[in-house]
A and B are shown apart, each in its own frame.
Chain A
Amino acid sequence: MNTSQTDALLDVRNLKVEVTTKAGSFFPVNDHSFSVKSGETLGIVGESGSGKSMTAMSLMRLLPKHAAKIRGGSVKLDGRELLTLSEKEMRKVRGADISMILQDPQTSLNPAFTVGDQIKEALKLHAPGGRKTLRERTIDALRRVKVAAPEHRVNSYPGEMSGGMRQRVVGAIAISCRPKVIIADEPTTSLDVTVQAQYLRLLKELQDETGMAILFITHDFGIVANLCHRVIVMYAGRIVESGPVAKIFAKPAHPYTEALISAVPSLHGQKERLTTIPGQPPAPTDIVVGCPFAPRCQYADARCHSEAPPTVAADQSGDHTTSCWRAVEA
């Protein structure tokens, strides 16, 4: 698993985030290590509350100020450590080197400013230029996300646009400064299915064009199969499996991944009841002894309940890993 480190664009090692609440403190991001290369799409999959968005926000260093703190690890972008940058230096990274597409286009654009102004703001901060150049680049960003009549649309307010169009604008903001990495946090969850497909195609095209890396956060294994090269599966703040998409679909090594994949409804084959995973993930503040998935796992034995499994290779190649006692034994 160390082979990819040298050519990794974004390299995350042993990242740990602690959240403190009145009910106690816990680690929604617990010892995460993963990396992504230029032009690659990494899927981050898990149920809500599994720590996906926390992971994304900690890469941006935009965790809620008082409640969450990064407790260790390293995040390197192009070999440069991000966790030790000053806030001022980090602001220059945000939007320029790493940008992000948020989940809900209905609320992620500022209703009081035109979409043009909102795109221009990012450009002004990271690639200043004259009025005319900025306007041209703003229009160009809209054109690249395939917004029709971008010369007119720059003057529109978000309230005058449809959800799919707004999400394109959010995309235009994200790509406007040509970042190396884009984090897409469930960008299509609130879009119609047809609009969803268009948006995913658009992301793919933009990636082909610019060679940016995409971190795609989702709970939908269907999208992962379509879009991602590699995937990490998260459960209760831990990475339980990671590897190339093809391998994970063909032979999931962790029972949780297996259950997730079988929960994706298929268009073909018999109409049957939708599969669900029985039980619930542990509450964040629960103290988990052993494997966090054990209470819901059909293969769990005594050791699973008492001892946390180590991360091991799931096959000989070394690019597929899992945290499961069954893989250790195999």
Chain B
Amino acid sequence: MLRYLLQRGASSLFALLIITVIVFSLSQLSGSPVDALLPDDATQEQIDIFIREWGLDQPLWKQYLTFLGNAVQGDFGVSLKWPGESAMGFVLDRMPATLRLGGLAILITLIIALPLGIAAAVYKGSAIDRIAQGFALLGQSMPNFWLGIVLIWIFSVWLGWLPTSGIGSFAHLILPAIAIAWFQISALARLTRSAMLEVLDAEYIKLARVKGVSEWAVVFKHALRNAAVVPLTYFGILAASILTGSVVIESVYSYPGMGWVAIEAIRGRDFPVVQAVIIAYAVIYMLSNLLVDLLYVIVNPRIKHG
């Protein structure tokens, strides 16, 4: 089991390395930093000094290694848009806000989607199943920024129950969390339903009933244990895409999290911050996938032997 986890960890690190290469190349593609950093009327001499100071005269691979070396220490340089802030420091500063929002969205998703998907499978064809299907269709066909605006219109403008935007109290989290969770609930409920349906048809479910096992244990012990792999796999993608995908919703609600920072940094061509955000997102992705790998082992003990 340890070997399995080490393997997963190593391949995650490798993926992270590839991402740094991509991030580095992207910044090369977007033009010389000379244009971005120096004023238009800089003299040739100033430019030469700048190039030497920043190591821009070095071969690309050497520049990359320098970048990587600094990145490993969390140093992505200073922000251009927010003077005086270190790029990664600025991103990390905004991270808790995003984790809070994403965490709530994940919680809402799990609490609604899993029971809904299981119930829809167990009571296939019943009213609950049809409601779940309708909900899934609605959820997956509504873009989340649109839903976000509609929610603001109903609950903030019309009913006046919740704040329209910003950050501060728990109330500020509710609308954006729902807007993020909505789509994910549909996706996860559908996946859970189909995985459960497939498993509930299996012969070993029949055998469990033949043994005299109660229907509750048949569903939650025998079926769920086997069906869980599918929603669990999706959960890795879900957690990561909720945490990183809040970019749009954070903009809609002017919620100053990492997503908002990303948008602002891109708008301001603030490369150090953009790079820091991308790497931070990548690390979140890896960690949530590693967590899923760990959960796999718990749900499905056979992996231990593999």
Q: Is the CB of A108 within 8 A of B203?
A: yes
Q: Is the CB of A91 within 8 A of B212?
A: yes
In the complex with contacts A108-B204, A109-B204, A94-B211 CB distance below 8 A:
yes
Q: Is the CB of B212 within 8 A of A62?
A: no
Cα A99 to Cα B301 with chains together (Å): 28
Q: Is the CB of B302 within 8 A of A95?
A: no
Determine which residue in B202, B204, B302 has the highest number of CB atoms from chain A within 10 A of its CB, and name it: B204
Would you call A284 an interface residue if the criterion is a C-beta within 8 Å of the partner chain's C-beta atoms? no
Q: Is the CB of B213 within 8 A of A112?
A: no
Would you call A126 an interface residue if the criterion is a C-beta within 8 Å of the partner chain's C-beta atoms? yes
Q: Is the CB of B203 within 8 A of A104?
A: yes
Cα A109 to Cα B202 with chains together (Å): 9
What residues of B have a CB within 8 angstroms of the CB of A112 in the complex? 225-226, 299-302
Q: Is the CB of B207 within 8 A of A96?
A: no
Would you call B125 an interface residue if the criterion is a C-beta within 8 Å of the partner chain's C-beta atoms? yes
Nearest neighbor of B229 in chain A, beta-carbon distance: A112
Would you call B214 an interface residue if the criterion is a C-beta within 8 Å of the partner chain's C-beta atoms? yes
Cα A94 to Cα B213 with chains together (Å): 9
What residues of A have a CB within 8 angstroms of the CB of B214 in the complex? 91
Please report which residues of chain B, range 203-231, place their CB below 8 angstroms from some CB of chain A when the two chains form the complex: 203-204, 206-214, 222, 225-226
Q: Is the CB of A92 within 8 A of B207?
A: no
Cα A160 to Cα B203 with chains together (Å): 18
Q: Is the CB of A111 within 8 A of B125?
A: no
A59 vs chain B, min Cβ distance (A):
11
The interface bits of chain B over 289-306 (1 if a CB of A lies within 8 angstroms of the residue's CB, else 0) are 000000000011110010
Q: Is the CB of A111 within 8 A of B210?
A: no
What residues of B have a CB within 8 angstroms of the CB of A103 in the complex? 203
Q: Pick the contact of B206 from A95, A108, A113, A126 — CB < 8 Å? A: A108
The interface bits of chain A over 55-69 (1 if a CB of B lies within 8 angstroms of the residue's CB, else 0) are 000001010001000
Would you call A122 an interface residue if the criterion is a C-beta within 8 Å of the partner chain's C-beta atoms? yes
Q: Is the CB of B211 within 8 A of A99?
A: yes
Q: Is the CB of A99 within 8 A of B213?
A: no
Cα A99 to Cα B203 with chains together (Å): 15
Cα A96 to Cα B213 with chains together (Å): 11
In the complex with contacts A66-B125, A102-B203, A104-B203, A110-B210 CB distance below 8 A:
no
What residues of B have a CB within 8 angstroms of the CB of A170 in the complex? 207
Cα A100 to Cα B203 with chains together (Å): 12
The interface bits of chain B over 53-79 (1 if a CB of A lies within 8 angstroms of the residue's CB, else 0) are 000000000000000000000000000
Cα A108 to Cα B222 with chains together (Å): 12
What residues of A have a CB within 8 angstroms of the CB of B211 in the complex? 94-95, 99, 121-122, 125, 173
B125 vs chain A, min Cβ distance (A):
7
Determine which residue in B204, B210, B225, B301 has the highest number of CB atoms from chain A within 10 A of its CB, and name it: B210
Q: Pick the contact of A159 from B203, B206, B208, B302 — CB < 8 Å? A: B302
Q: Is the CB of B212 within 8 A of A126?
A: yes
What residues of B have a CB within 8 angstroms of the CB of A306 in the complex? none
What residues of A have a CB within 8 angstroms of the CB of B204 in the complex? 107-111
B299 vs chain A, min Cβ distance (A):
8
Please report which residues of chain A, range 44-85, place their CB below 8 angstroms from some CB of chain B when the two chains form the complex: 60, 62, 66
What residues of A have a CB within 8 angstroms of the CB of B212 in the complex? 91-96, 122, 125-126
B298 vs chain A, min Cβ distance (A):
11
Q: Pick the contact of B207 from A66, A102, A111, A126 — CB < 8 Å? A: A102
What residues of B have a CB within 8 angstroms of the CB of A99 in the complex? 210-211
Determine which residue in A93, A104, A109, A110 has the highest number of CB atoms from chain B within 10 A of its CB, and name it: A110
Interchain residue pairs with CB less than 8 A apart (23): A60-B210, A92-B212, A94-B210, A94-B211, A96-B212, A99-B210, A102-B203, A102-B206, A107-B202, A107-B204, A108-B203, A108-B206, A108-B207, A109-B204, A109-B207, A111-B302, A112-B225, A112-B299, A122-B212, A125-B213, A157-B305, A159-B302, A170-B207
Ordered nearest first, which 5 A-B pairs have the shortest CB separation? A95-B212, A94-B212, A95-B211, A107-B203, A108-B203
Instruction: Please list the residues of chain A having a beta carbon within 8 angstroms of any beta carbon in chain B.
Output: 60, 62, 66, 91-96, 99-100, 102-104, 107-113, 121-122, 125-126, 157, 159, 170, 173
